[in-house]
Chain A
Amino acid sequence: MGQAGKQTGKEKNFVSCVIYLHNDEEVVGDFLGKISRVMQDNFEKYEIICVNDGCTDGTVEQIHAFLEGAETAGIQTRAVSLINLSFYQGVETAMNAGGDLAVGDFLIEFDRCCLDFEPELIMRIYRRALEGYDVVSAAPKRGVSFSSRMFYALYNWSSHFRYHIRQERFRIVSRRAVNRVNQMNVYVPYRKAMYMNCGLKTDTVVYDNKDTAKKSRNREERSNRNGLAVDTLIIFTDVLEKFSLLVSTVLLVFLVMMFCWIVYSIFSTVRPVEGWMSLMALMSFGFFMLSVMLTLIFKYLAVILNMSFRKQRYVVEGVEKLSK
């Protein structure tokens, strides 16, 4: 098949690395160097796709600097591309763009440009995937924030899916899984949940990260992640159903109590002065609960609207092929 097969002992699968970048000028050069090294040592063919999600610092310059210095450092940069998103759109959207450009048999998605793992971990994950797992994630042991933990706990408790999710640093996804996820929906709000729910076999490798990722998230990113967390819980879990059930139950209990009180007051000698207060209390509480329900319905509708009518997943400024 193809050209005269070179006997290099390297892996024959085509691997695409997609790297998310948002103001990572300090680490991007080092990160690209290490990733490229692992790739060229282990794979015959690979590509690296950097997704520039509205970087306002020198990240892009650092990528160019890396490419210029790569030749002398003995690093091949045969297929490096850069996707420039027009403005900051968040990691999920940005990584969707990267994934769409990638052509490989396997995709390795680096959600953060953060090297708190040994580069060899990439190969461990890859080999695990070859054992028959379509999605294999690398999850750090330490440094997961409290809020993240709460989110994952809530998610895993309220979703019915086979696999649980947790904080991940990067993951390998087979072409089959990517296609499956893309066919499931145009709008992929949260890749991690989609991969875990695409029906294919998945696995997680936990690694001990000695020094935890220090990079703090900016406010924009944080609010983006918070919004995403709410969306994710609504789409992928039944947490809101459970919540509304709870609300209804409380309302029901309250009504029963009221009813009992009324019955009691009929048969007892103690008559309420006018019964006006309790009636008002019942009505106002009822309306409050009704508005809560309406809020939930509106939220649901917003998400459904988003899923069915959004045509383009992201706004791209341009795609550059960087390697010469």
Chain B
Amino acid sequence: MSWQTSDKLIIGAGLYGLYAALYCGRRGQRVTVLEIEEAPFTRATYINQARVHMGYHYPRSLSTAMKSAGYFKRFVEDYGFCIHDSFQQIYATSRHFSWTDAAEFRKFCENAGIPCMDLPAEQYFQKGMCDGAFLTQEYTYDAHILRDHLLEEIGKLPNVTMRYGRRIRRIIKQGDCYEIYAEAAEAAAGQTAKGASEEQYRAPFVLNATYASVNQVLHCVEGVETQDFGLKYELCEIILCHVDAALEKIGLTVMDGPFFSIMPFGKTGYHSLTSVTFTPHKTSYDAVPQFGCAKEQGAACAERWLGNCNSCACKPESAWEYMSALARKYLRADYGFTYESSLFSMKPILKASEIDDSRPTVIKRLEPERADGGGPVFLSVLSGKINTVYDLDAFLE
């Protein structure tokens, strides 16, 4: 057993983890990425609506909207190869139950400085269902193309090491470094003797980019007082659909309340169908996700770690019937769609953002910087949008 020392340790190989790895790797730093799964991008980075947000989604939070819009251009320039932009993204405001209406939405877009053009709502929706429809500029990214690109780039850097199937056991602050004890998946499965494959990593900088597991990772830290993110967790279902030719080049999102969205899912050729009410299946208000299904036979969750909900045997039954009924209630009959498959993932939501529905990127440092600017750094990041990944830059220098 020997120490594997690096300049930066990154926990989690989602977009934020790999972005940070590449960012630091390109600057010549030795980076190690620890990932619980056997591959990157298997959870929330892949399983979400795949929107490259321009801010339309947040009519109740101008700050979130403007920030999204600012990063939108940069993301599209940097990662254009994985972006699907040749479709019409249409936002509509529901006539009933919406927290916003057509006039408010128009005003909001103007204030946020994002393009928005009026369309006849009845071109897309049943009569009387929506009071406004707007052509917007928003794209979708393909997580798998993005993953392959990032892996290829990282592969060119000998100073970046990827470690898959690693479970963190303990994180201990030692002087100017953090030491992480992890075990490989075989050992975790309990087949081989405990400790045989225990590994030790050490770095003065740790980035916790584990999204839904962010609090679980924080709970492994010893010797330093940690503070949980105030989160609730939703087990979410994204449905992939085949759509009729009429809907192929269209993405539709009905706002702002218990509505739905059906839009292209990256470059896969499928549309994703989600709804505010039916996409979340179960909710946990505990500090770390606590769900009844974790205790069932064959559940992917092991020990204290959240499993991959998508490959889990105990994932919930699809809410397709409910989501499709909701979408059909709104959509004109000629926009047909049929079920292909479901994707499940865990989504943490900051409790503070429920009212204004903002989705801030939260980056927390475990200990404040020492007076001399030294001391080990342990950062935890939580963000619900891919294009705000650039928020990390300032912290990685």
- A residues with a Cβ closer than 8 A to B are 1-3, 14, 44-45, 47, 79, 81, 97, 100-101, 103-105, 175, 179, 182-183, 313, 316, 319, 321, 324
Q: Is there an interface contact between A1 and B338, defined as CB atoms closer than 8 Å?
A: yes
Q: A1-B338, A100-B96, A324-B283 are in contact. Are A79 and B322 (CB under 8 A)?
A: yes
Interface residue? B127 (CB, 8 A):
yes
Q: Which residues of A contact B320 (CB under 8 A)?
A: 2-3
Q: Is there an interface contact between B282 and A324, defined as CB atoms closer than 8 Å?
A: yes
> CA separation between A2 and B320, bound complex, in Å?
8
Contact among B127, B326, B338 with A2 in the assembled complex (CB-CB below 8 Å): B338
Interface residue? B70 (CB, 8 A):
no
Please, which residue of chain B has its CB at the minimum distance from the CB of A104? Answer: B325
Q: Identify 12 new A-B residue pairs, CB closer than 8 A, beyond the known A97-B96, A101-B96, A324-B282.
A: A2-B321, A2-B324, A14-B321, A14-B325, A81-B277, A100-B96, A103-B322, A103-B329, A175-B329, A183-B128, A319-B97, A321-B258
Interface residue? B335 (CB, 8 A):
no
Contact among B97, B282, B318 with A316 in the assembled complex (CB-CB below 8 Å): B97
> CA separation between A226 and B318, bound complex, in Å?
46
Interface residue? B375 (CB, 8 A):
no
Interface residue? B360 (CB, 8 A):
no
**Most chain A beta-carbon neighbours within 10 Å: one of B96, B282, B326:** B96
> CA separation between A100 and B95, bound complex, in Å?
9
Q: 1/0 per residue B120-151: CB within 8 Å of A?
A: 00000011100000000000000000000000
For the complex formed, measure the closest distance between the CB of B252 and the CB atoms of chain A, giving whole angstroms.
16
Interface residue? B75 (CB, 8 A):
no
For the complex formed, measure the closest distance between the CB of B59 and the CB atoms of chain A, giving whole angstroms.
17
Q: A100-B97, A103-B329, A179-B128 are in contact. Are A47 and B339 (CB under 8 A)?
A: no
For the complex formed, measure the closest distance between the CB of A308 and the CB atoms of chain B, giving whole angstroms.
15
> CA separation between A2 and B318, bound complex, in Å?
10
Q: A179-B126, A316-B97 are in contact. Are A105 and B277 (CB under 8 A)?
A: no
> CA separation between A319 and B283, bound complex, in Å?
16
For the complex formed, measure the closest distance between the CB of B318 and the CB atoms of chain A, giving whole angstroms.
6
For the complex formed, measure the closest distance between the CB of A8 and the CB atoms of chain B, giving whole angstroms.
13
Q: Which residues of B contact A179 (CB under 8 A)?
A: 126-128
Q: Is there an interface contact between A183 and B321, defined as CB atoms closer than 8 Å?
A: no
> CA separation between A81 and B329, bound complex, in Å?
17
**Most chain A beta-carbon neighbours within 10 Å: one of B127, B329, B339:** B329
Q: Which residues of A contact B165 (CB under 8 A)?
A: none
Q: Is there an interface contact between A44 and B321, defined as CB atoms closer than 8 Å?
A: yes
Chain A to chain B contacts (Cβ below 8 Å), 9 pairs: A2-B324, A14-B325, A45-B325, A79-B322, A100-B97, A105-B325, A179-B126, A182-B128, A324-B282
Q: Is there an interface contact between B96 and A45, defined as CB atoms closer than 8 Å?
A: no
> CA separation between A45 and B319, bound complex, in Å?
10
Q: Which residues of B contact A101 (CB under 8 A)?
A: 96-97, 258
Contact among B128, B283, B322 with A45 in the assembled complex (CB-CB below 8 Å): B322
Contact among A3, A47, A97 with B318 in the assembled complex (CB-CB below 8 Å): A3
Q: Which residues of B contact A183 (CB under 8 A)?
A: 127-128
> CA separation between A105 and B257, bound complex, in Å?
21
> CA separation between A47 and B322, bound complex, in Å?
9
For the complex formed, measure the closest distance between the CB of A298 and the CB atoms of chain B, giving whole angstroms.
30
For the complex formed, measure the closest distance between the CB of A95 and the CB atoms of chain B, giving whole angstroms.
13
Q: Which residues of B contact A1 (CB under 8 A)?
A: 338-339
Which residues of B, 313-358, contact A by the 8 Å Cβ criterion?
A: 318, 320-322, 324-326, 328-329, 338-339
Interface pairs A-B: 9 shortest CB-CB: A100-B96, A103-B325, A45-B321, A103-B326, A2-B339, A14-B325, A182-B128, A103-B329, A321-B277
Q: Which residues of B contact A105 (CB under 8 A)?
A: 325
Please, which residue of chain A has its CB at the minimum distance from the CB of B321? Answer: A45
> CA separation between A176 and B110, bound complex, in Å?
37
Q: Which residues of A contact B339 (CB under 8 A)?
A: 1-3
Which residues of B, 71-108, contact A by the 8 Å Cβ criterion?
A: 96-97
> CA separation between A81 and B283, bound complex, in Å?
15
Q: Which residues of A contact B329 (CB under 8 A)?
A: 103, 175
> CA separation between A183 and B338, bound complex, in Å?
27
> CA separation between A313 and B97, bound complex, in Å?
10
> CA separation between A104 and B127, bound complex, in Å?
17
Q: Which residues of A contact B126 (CB under 8 A)?
A: 179
Please, which residue of chain A has its CB at the minimum distance from the CB of B323? Answer: A103
Q: Is there an interface contact between B338 and A313, defined as CB atoms closer than 8 Å?
A: no
Q: Which residues of B contact A175 (CB under 8 A)?
A: 329
> CA separation between A179 and B324, bound complex, in Å?
17
For the complex formed, measure the closest distance between the CB of A79 and the CB atoms of chain B, giving whole angstroms.
6
Please, which residue of chain B has its CB at the minimum distance from the CB of A184? Answer: B128
Please, which residue of chain A has its CB at the minimum distance from the CB of B131? Answer: A311
Q: Which residues of A contact B257 (CB under 8 A)?
A: 319
> CA separation between A271 and B377, bound complex, in Å?
116
For the complex formed, measure the closest distance between the CB of B263 and the CB atoms of chain A, giving whole angstroms.
19
Q: Which residues of B contact A313 (CB under 8 A)?
A: 96
> CA separation between A225 and B321, bound complex, in Å?
37
For the complex formed, measure the closest distance between the CB of A202 and the CB atoms of chain B, giving whole angstroms.
21
